[in-house]
Amino acid sequence: MLPLVALVGRPNVGKSTLFNALTRTRDALVHDQPGVTRDRNYGLCRPEGQREFAVVDTGGIGGEDEGIAGATTRQARAAAAEADLVLFIVDGRQGASRLDDDILAWLRKTARPTYLVVNKTDGLDTHAALSEFAHYGFTDVIGISSAHRQGIDDLIDVILERLPELGDSAQLDNDPSRIKVAFIGRPNVGKSTLVNRLLGEERMIASEVAGTTRDAVAVDMERDGRLYRLVDTAGLRRKSRVDEVVEKFSIIKTLHAIEQCQVAVVMLDANEGVTDQDASVLGYALDAGRALVIAVNKWDGLSEYQRQQNESLLARKLTFVDWAERVRISATHGSGLRELFAAVHRAHASATREFSTSEVTQAMEAAYEANPPPVIRNHVAKLRYAHPAASNPPTFVIHGTRLKTLSDSYKRYLENFFRKRFKLVGTPVRFVFKDSV
């Protein structure tokens, strides 16, 4: 399970600065592209070689009203209440305030494990800054400077020590013959309808994979002679009438599903185009480097004219994931599902393809010869050799000189060249540039 850490505190204490310091995304390229929603409150922290966890900046959620109601809106409170660990962030420069007191009183009521983090200690006597908050009675407290990245690694150690024990989620991984698929998307796109349809009327033919905590459920299924494991399957969490009304879109559940799957099927509603929430779900899948298929659902309800309109709209809105296959389906009629699963297979095969060093170097040389990087202020980047570094997503290391000067557009050129040459569909492709000298 992916643990969740919530950043809670009044406005301006530095929550979003800390959020950025913890979740520095590895794929800066992706986020410069239009269409990717950036105002995200959830992110992943992936400490090198250690357990990863999700972080939620509760300050980014909801309004900007004064007082505790504004600082901890209903959604923010809900996010904090489902967290495995709450970081209570205060401002070391300003000391304790009334609003801090109120937030702390509320945090005590939630009874989530809480750790006090005194931010903005740069240039301060840390000991004195911490003692300003001694009356809060925390035995453990840490002083950091988010803006200067001081104490962030120590804070990550503190977080890792305090996360709950790993559950049995390893069981989800115990069958390499199955492709792990997650159907994700905002509410009402048709996830449950599709999953229930896939599993058939009789649930008996599908076996639930036990051993996961909370409500993460996996189900094994077979289709056209191939084996799948549906992770965090929406359709199995039977919605009660009440839940349906109050159920909020849980991003943490979406993140869980993304983490657990090999191929994410992001569902859209053909009637609605690409909403901000859709773009945000896509963004999370991209952040995680997941193989991706886009299922445009409810295709049945559209006239021919609407279909054409819809087609061009999607093509425009989804340029940032133009490598992902789009499949038109109808969950209620069951149409398009064969194509959908064929696309899942292609994405999985691309994401997990193995590469030899020589074919990667040859691809790099061919790309270089066809279009060498431009001379910038009398300097030119040289690509020397390359090798594969990881799969799922395919990651290539390119060695050379002055690679720091490579423009984003040249990097995109390389990516597209590699995609074409190796016929990679449905998977992100990553490059790591290493300057020798």
Binding-site residue set for GTP: 9-16, 57-61, 119-122, 185-192, 232-236, 297-300
Residue 17 makes contact with ligand GDP by CB under 6 A: yes
CA neighbor of 280 nearest in space, from 112, 35, 61: 35
Residue 190 makes contact with ligand GDP by CB under 6 A: yes
Q: Alpha helix (H) ranges present in 82-227?
A: 98-110, 126-131, 152-162, 191-199
Length of the chain: 437
Judge contact between 17 and 147, C-beta under 8 A. yes
* Interface with ligand GDP (CB under 6 A), residue from 275, 332, 391, 416: 332
**Toward ligand GDP, which CB reaches closer, 154 or 408?**
154
Judge contact between 8 and 89, C-beta under 8 A. yes
**Toward ligand GDP, which CB reaches closer, 12 or 97?**
12
Strand partners, 399: 385, 434
Report in angstroms how near the CB of residue 115 gets to ligand GDP at its nearest: 16
Give the binding range for ligand GDP (CB under 6 A) out of 181-189, 320-328, 403-411, 416-424: 181-189
Q: What DSSP character marks residue 392?
A: T
The contact pattern for ligand GDP, residues 240-279, with x = CB under 6 A and - = no contact, is ----------------------------------------
Q: What one-character-per-residue DSSP string does 314-332 give?
A: HHHHTGGGTTSEEEE-BTT
AA letter at 311: E
Residue 187 makes contact with ligand GDP by CB under 6 A: yes
**Toward ligand GDP, which CB reaches closer, 17 or 212?**
17
CA neighbor of 5 nearest in space, from 160, 236, 208, 183: 160
Angstrom distance (rounded) from CA 407 to CA 374: 9
Give the chain's radius of gyration (CA, Å).
24
Residue 5 makes contact with ligand GDP by CB under 6 A: no
* Interface with ligand GDP (CB under 6 A), residue from 192, 260, 310, 361: 192
AA letter at 425: V
Report in angstroms how near the CB of residue 18 gets to ligand GDP at its nearest: 7
Residue 23 makes contact with ligand GDP by CB under 6 A: no
Distance set, CA 363 to CA 138, 149, 425 (Å): 57, 38, 17
* Interface with ligand GDP (CB under 6 A), residue from 41, 72, 73, 193: 193
Give the footprint of ligand GDP on this chain (CB under 6 A). Answer: 9, 11-17, 59, 119-120, 122, 145-147, 185, 187-193, 234, 297-298, 300-301, 330-332
